[in-house]
Amino acid sequence: MEAMARDRGTLARRRRTRRIQVGTVPVGGDAPVTVQSMTTTKTADAEATLTQIYALAAAGADLVRCTCNEEAAAEGLARIIPRSPVPIIADIHFHHEMALAALEAGVQGLRLNPGNLRKAHEIKLVASEAKDRGVPIRIGVNAGSLHPDLYKRFGGATPEALVESARMELAYFADVGFEDVKISVKASSVPLMIESYRLASETFDHPLHLGVTEAGPPPAGLIKGTAGIATLLAEGIGDTIRYSLTADPVEEARAGRRLLEALGLRERKGLDLIACPSCGRAEVDVIAVAAAVQEALESRHLPIQVAVMGCVVNGPGEAREADLGIAAGRRKGHLFIRGKIVRVVPEEDMVAELVAEAERLVAEGVDARLAAADEGAEAAAAADRRDLLQAKGTDANASEAKVALIRKRFGGDTASD
């Protein structure tokens, strides 16, 4: 499937950070950007939590965080970790004893909130114990739980205040020689989050964990999370990400994976469906066809880009970069691979034919499927396009009329060249 994972365009060069190891998963340096999510079950319920962890891993999570807020949760972690498909990070808020218990349970990472766990000797003890076990710690700064002294000193939750909170925690870690750290400076305000991470990237060389905290339910939460995370990733900032949604955490993992694939930061593992927004030239209900294609293909986990286009006049050309696509016209579907028509099928069979071709494409490869194109498919498609152009005008986009108006505005000859 390497031929189907073509990168088109580049982002800013990724900022080079230190590399740490969270269990079997590398973070920072030249390691791939990773996806994280967090369980919503009671950690004490090991079976329910494991079920959710497996669902998160299947949706694209590389790392999973579980709350460790009581002794029963720590005991749950001891039962969960040996059976987990991905490394587990324990989330610690107010009690350093929970961090020590999580380390005893065998967690592969800790997250400490410096706004909540404030006593220097406790922080150093946790860092020292983590160092002895080779367990990294995320300094999880949050604008909503910043230390009151920093609020007062900086006049609120400013980027400078968030970064200073992380710097102070790092100083405690340095006192015990602990450097296995990643940092987050999250906020629910997207602009504040972006500016805080920009400042953190200039201040630290530790890997950064990106997220817009308390983003809320989809679709607004997805938009806020994407606005912040994608902006920074496009600038080369960020080593691991989490969407914080008021929703099933599987949606967080799925969104994170899709974002990284869309940006070309991770190899595509699932469906990338593109579709035209529909217009007056559409010959089918594009929205309904696209929904049917997505439902049919998504569960198959085929790592290809598929296009659904409502017009055979422009569709195959506009979606020529897609691995596979269908364009509708005159109650037929024009099936195309990389812009080349390979089959013309009845409209009622479009979705089924597209799904079947997708599976063959993944199994056999692009070249083989292009070679298997139906004889006469291109000619049949060309005839349909001619008929539609005659029915709807030879210039479906009215481009020549627009050219004439432009020439008239500049006093030029309106005749064709």
Kindly report the CATH number assigned to the domain that includes residue 309.
3.30.413.10
Q: Are strands 19-22 and 25-28 parallel, antiparallel or unpaired?
A: antiparallel
Kindly report the CATH number assigned to the domain that includes residue 236.
3.20.20.20
Residue 417 is assigned to a structural domain of this protein: no
Q: Are residues 305 and 202 in the same domain?
A: no
Q: Are residues 281 and 256 in the same domain?
A: no
Q: So what's the pLDDT on residue 2?
A: 42
Q: Are residues 72 and 108 in the same domain?
A: yes
DSSP 8-class letter at 155: T
> Using CA atoms, how far apart are residues 93 and 167, in angstroms rounded to an integer?
18
Q: Are residues 194 and 87 in the same domain?
A: yes
DSSP string, 248-293: -HHHHHHHHHHHHHHTTSS---S-EEEE----TT-SS-HHHHHHHH
Residue 406 is assigned to a structural domain of this protein: no
Q: Are residues 251 and 298 in the same domain?
A: no
Tell me the three state secondary structure of residue 323: coil
Q: Are residues 16 and 89 in the same domain?
A: yes
Q: Are residues 241 and 294 in the same domain?
A: no
The alpha carbon of residue 280 and the mean position of all alpha carbons in its chain are separated, in whole angstroms, by: 33
DSSP string, 205-258: -S-BEE-BTT-BSTTHHHHHHHHHHHHHHHTT--SEE---BSS-HHHHHHHHHH
Q: Is 346 exposed, middle or buried (0-12, 13-18, 19+ CB in 10 A)?
A: exposed
**What pTM value is reported for the model?**
0.82
Q: Are residues 200 and 55 in the same domain?
A: yes
For the chain, report the end-to-end CA distance as a whole number of angstroms. Answer: 45
Q: Are residues 97 and 227 in the same domain?
A: yes
The candidate with the shortest Cα–Cα distance to 92, out of 79, 102, 81, is 102
Q: Are residues 112 and 234 in the same domain?
A: yes
Residue 181's domain comprises 2-262
Domains contained in the chain, number: 2
> Using CA atoms, how far apart are residues 176 and 366, in angstroms rounded to an integer?
56
Q: Are residues 231 and 276 in the same domain?
A: no
Residue 314 is assigned to a structural domain of this protein: yes
Residue 399 is assigned to a structural domain of this protein: no
Q: What is the pLDDT along the chain (417 residues), one digit of tens a residue?
A: 444 444 455 789 999 999 999 999 999 999 999 999 999 999 999 999 999 999 999 999 999 999 999 999 999 999 999 999 999 999 998 899 999 999 999 999 999 999 888 899 999 999 999 999 999 999 999 999 999 999 999 999 999 999 999 999 999 999 999 999 999 999 999 999 999 999 999 999 999 999 999 999 999 999 999 999 999 999 999 999 999 999 999 999 999 999 999 999 998 888 888 887 766 556 667 788 888 888 888 888 888 899 888 776 666 677 788 899 888 776 788 889 998 899 998 888 888 999 999 999 999 999 999 999 888 888 877 776 777 666 655 454 566 677 788 888 887 654 544
Q: Are residues 166 and 250 in the same domain?
A: yes
Kindly tell me the sign of the dihedral angle through the C-alpha atoms of 106, 111, 116, 118.
positive
